[in-house]
């Protein structure tokens, strides 16, 4: 039976946003579903609790999260370390905290964009120590709305720097030639995610 994979979207997005990635994963042989949540009004803490409840009630084999979705996926697994999620792919996720989110939060006019997800985006995680294997796909094309708030000296996808995606304890890391938004629509990023879900490593 194909692996069940639950996709988690990022800030200011909805289920529809992940439809192209879900389609590519289904074509690759996975049973891809999408977990939706109100990222601004509800926020990350509420999403983590709901995802934790979902994983306990209806377990899946793996998780794939874009941007904030990757942080939510790992935070939910910390609450439920015994659920049978074997692998997680974080795509463009600022796992070590987001400089862009910090800059957005520093401006009164833009702060509402983060809603109740500000803390998790700014702080990120210290390290990954859970049983699930975690792989990260980062982007290196610096385009998009994130450039309104950040100018990275190092390589980035325009919103998240590659260094912000390198969390201690992950199993593997790769870079796709995409912007932050483009990662969701990228055949390359989807193929790398599928490879990690099957093998526990990316195609280097």
User: Which residue ranges make up each domain of the chain?
Assistant: 4-199
Read off the pLDDT band of 99 (50, 70, 90).
confident
The C-alpha atoms of residue 74 and residue 64 are separated, in whole angstroms, by 10
pLDDT at 154: 85
Give counts: helices (H), strands (E), the chain: 7, 6
183 within 8 A of 189, measured Cβ to Cβ:
yes
71 within 8 A of 46, measured Cβ to Cβ:
no
Average pLDDT over every residue of 141-145? 76
Average pLDDT over every residue of 147-165? 80
pLDDT at 143: 78
The C-alpha atoms of residue 107 and residue 12 are separated, in whole angstroms, by 18
Nearest alpha-carbon partner for 147 in 159, 164, 156, 162: 159
User: At 25, phi and psi to the nearest 5?
Assistant: -70, -35
Write out pLDDT tens, residues 8-36: 998 866 678 899 999 999 999 999 999 99
30 within 8 A of 2, measured Cβ to Cβ:
yes
Q: What end-to-end distance do the CA atoms of the chain give, in Å?
A: 27
What lies within 8 Å, CB to CB, of 3 at 6+ separation is: 30, 31, 61, 62, 197
DSSP characters for 83-129?
A: S---EEEEES--TT--HHHHHHHTSTTTGGGTGGGHHHHHH--S---
pLDDT at 105: 46
Q: What is the CATH number of domain 4-199?
A: 3.40.50.1820
User: What 3-state class would DSSP assign to 176?
Assistant: strand
| Dihedral sign of CA atoms 75, 35, 137, 26 in order | positive
Whether residue 204 is predicted with pLDDT greater than 60 in this model: the reply is: yes
């Amino acid at each position: 039976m194909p692996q069940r994979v639950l996709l988690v979207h990022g800030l200011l997005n909805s289920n529809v946003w992940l439809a192209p990635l879900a389609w590519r994963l289904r074509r690759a042989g996975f049973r891809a579903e999408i977990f939706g949540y109100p990222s601004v009004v509800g926020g990350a803490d509420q999403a983590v609790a709901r995802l934790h409840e979902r994983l306990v009630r209806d377990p899946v084999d793996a998780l794939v999260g874009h941007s904030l979705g990757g942080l939510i996926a790992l935070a939910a697994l910390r609450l439920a370390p015994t659920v049978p999620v074997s692998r997680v792919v974080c795509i463009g996720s600022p796992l070590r905290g987001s400089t862009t989110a910090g800059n957005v939060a520093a401006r009164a006019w833009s702060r509402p964009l983060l809603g109740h997800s500000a803390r998790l985006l700014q702080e990120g995680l210290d390290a990954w120590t859970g049983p699930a294997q975690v792989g990260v796909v980062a982007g290196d094309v610096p385009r998009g709305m994130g450039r309104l708030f950040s100018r990275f000296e190092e390589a980035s996808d325009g919103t998240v720097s590659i260094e912000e995606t390198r969390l201690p304890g992950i199993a593997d890391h790769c870079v796709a030639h995409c912007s932050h938004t483009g990662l969701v629509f990228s055949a390359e990023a989807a193929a790398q995610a599928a490879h990690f879900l099957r093998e526990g490593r990316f195609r280097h």
